[in-house]
Structure 1
Amino acid sequence: MTDHSGVPARLARPAGLDSTGPSDDFAVLWPRAASTETAWLEELAGSGVTGFMPPPMPDAAWVLNAMYEHESGPTDATYDDLHRARVAEGLVPTRMIGDMDLNTIGTATGGGLGRAEHPGPGWRRLRWAELAGRVGDPVVPEGMLPCFRCFPSAKIASSWPLGIRPPTEGSMDRATWNRVTAVLAENSPDGADTRCLAYYNPLMLGCEDFDDLHVRAGRLGDAAILYDTPDADFSPSNLWAQDRSWVLCTDYDLWGTKIAGPSALIEALLSDPELESVRLPWAR
């Protein structure tokens, strides 16, 4: 049996859990692990300040974060227009440096940082490929990674129209996280019982510690709760199988997640109808 997110529903509460709340469940299901668990990733990928970005293992693909469009379609009004109107009406707290309010400089582009949900009634999934076909931009420009620089032709003076909810940055959205972890389980020998480790980079944690890295260990079948960690408002920077057969990386500055692993897994991600995944030959 599955819920609407595609994650297998648990028929029984795991032993050792009580009903005191999600934070308590999280600590039981995903206890802290040694910071040294990331040593192999550092050797493989270098610094993990924004996430350990793996090479192909031997294959790789990028899963793109979801974006949404309102049923009324794009408008001429932008997120920057809305922001400036709110500032003018005194609805945005001032952020003063000397005699300058930071709210009055720069451009509010739209989009967010960290966890994201479906916007609700009236909104539909807008595929990157659909938007690319509409505005004439590539899904991801050659030589670039999925990020805020994508789709310049969809924006008005560098700001997204209010009728489009652009992808979140630095985290998968919930629907993508749930589906990716389900596909990983379907393509791992131990399925939901696959032992995994999850790493949250220091930027997610307020830059509190760059030496004692934040790692947790648990079952792939319990990965849904990682999305609601009390530690950070993000999905993990890295999630990997304990046997190191696959690893994913959601970089703090990007709109997509790179997953490296066996070709069969990568093909499953690319062909999954609930995900939007691409190969980027220049970013393998």
Structure 2
Amino acid sequence: MDESAGVLAAARWPLAVGREADWLRELTCDDGLTGFMPPALPDAAWVLHSMYEHQVGPTGWSFVEYRRRAGAPCLAYYSPLLHGAEGFDNLHIRTGTLADALVLYDHPDEDGWTPSNLWPRDRSWVLCTDYDLWVTKVAGPPALIEALLDDAELEAVRLPWAT
């Protein structure tokens, strides 16, 4: 890892309080062992491969709208299994912005692991990536799911039970 990338990641995504994920725990009725797998909010899709392979914003958004959304405060939850945790009382969460989410790959305190969940503070959508799956579940508003499904550069499939 590039040392400057690690410093940038640590500065832009500091630790947050564990109770920030309480709403996910309640929503999923889960302990978050491998991440919280959310239900449709009200829609959902699987996005194959990596979300970070796609560098262009969704079509139909103005540059101003894209930057507004990219600057949204977000939270990232890491599965306790990734850190050798024995308990689930103090969840491992970082806070930053969507625009800076790419630096999570270089975070010096995460031993190369990526977050299990990522969501904005307004809780309008949530991502869930299990460490051993090649897909990311995205749950959120229909407009978000449609943008993912309509994007020719992404492989995405609507979850049939979400409609």
Using structure 2 for the length normalisation, give the TM-score: 0.83
- Residues 194 and 220, structure 1, Cα contact 8 Å, conserved in 2: yes
Alpha-carbon distance change, 203 to 180 in structure 1, aligned in 2, over 3 angstroms: farther
The secondary structure found in structure 2 opposite 1:55 is: coil
1:216-248: CA deviation from partner (whole Å, max 9, x where unpaired): 001111111012222132321000011001101
CA distance in 2, matches of 1:57, 1:188: 21
* Aligned residue number for residue 24 of structure 2: 41
1:163-216: CA deviation from partner (whole Å, max 9, x where unpaired): xxxxxxxxx4xxx32528944xx6878322111000110122233553221100
* Aligned residue number for residue 105 of structure 1: none
- Structure of higher CA gyration radius: 1
* Aligned residue number for residue 22 of structure 1: 5
CA distance in 1, matches of 2:35, 2:123: 16
CA distance in 1, matches of 2:89, 2:55: 29
1:219 matched to 2:97? The reply is yes
The secondary structure found in structure 1 opposite 2:114 is: coil
- Residues 30 and 217, structure 1, Cα contact 8 Å, conserved in 2: yes
More strand as a share of residues: 2
- Long gaps (5+) in structure 2: none
The percentage of counterpart residues that share the same residue type is 56
Letter in 1 for 2:133: L
* Aligned residue number for residue 206 of structure 1: 84
Alpha-carbon distance change, 283 to 266 in structure 1, aligned in 2, over 3 angstroms: closer
**Counterpart pick for 1:262 among 138, 141, 145:** 141
The secondary structure found in structure 2 opposite 1:268 is: helix
1:51 matched to 2:35? The reply is yes
- Residues 260 and 266, structure 1, Cα contact 8 Å, conserved in 2: yes
CA distance in 2, matches of 1:195, 1:276: 26
Structure possessing the higher relative contact order (Cα contacts under 8 Å, 6 or more residues apart): 2
- Residues 31 and 88, structure 2, Cα contact 8 Å, conserved in 1: no
1:76-135: CA deviation from partner (whole Å, max 9, x where unpaired): xxxxxxxxxxxxxxxxxxxxxxxxxxxxxxxxxxxxxxxxxxxxxxxxxxxxxxxxxxxx
- Long gaps (5+) in structure 1: 1-19, 66-171
- Residues 60 and 259, structure 1, Cα contact 8 Å, conserved in 2: yes
Stretches (4+) displaced over 4 A: 180-183, 186-189
The secondary structure found in structure 1 opposite 2:113 is: coil
Alpha-carbon distance change, 274 to 208 in structure 1, aligned in 2, over 3 angstroms: farther
CA distance in 2, matches of 1:283, 1:216: 28
**1:71-90 mapped onto 2 (5 Å cutoff):** none
CA distance in 1, matches of 2:55, 2:37: 17
Letter in 2 for 1:64: L
Using structure 1 for the length normalisation, give the TM-score: 0.50
CA distance in 1, matches of 2:153, 2:83: 30
The secondary structure found in structure 2 opposite 1:204 is: helix
Letter in 2 for 1:29: R
Letter in 2 for 1:206: G
- Residues 50 and 253, structure 1, Cα contact 8 Å, conserved in 2: no
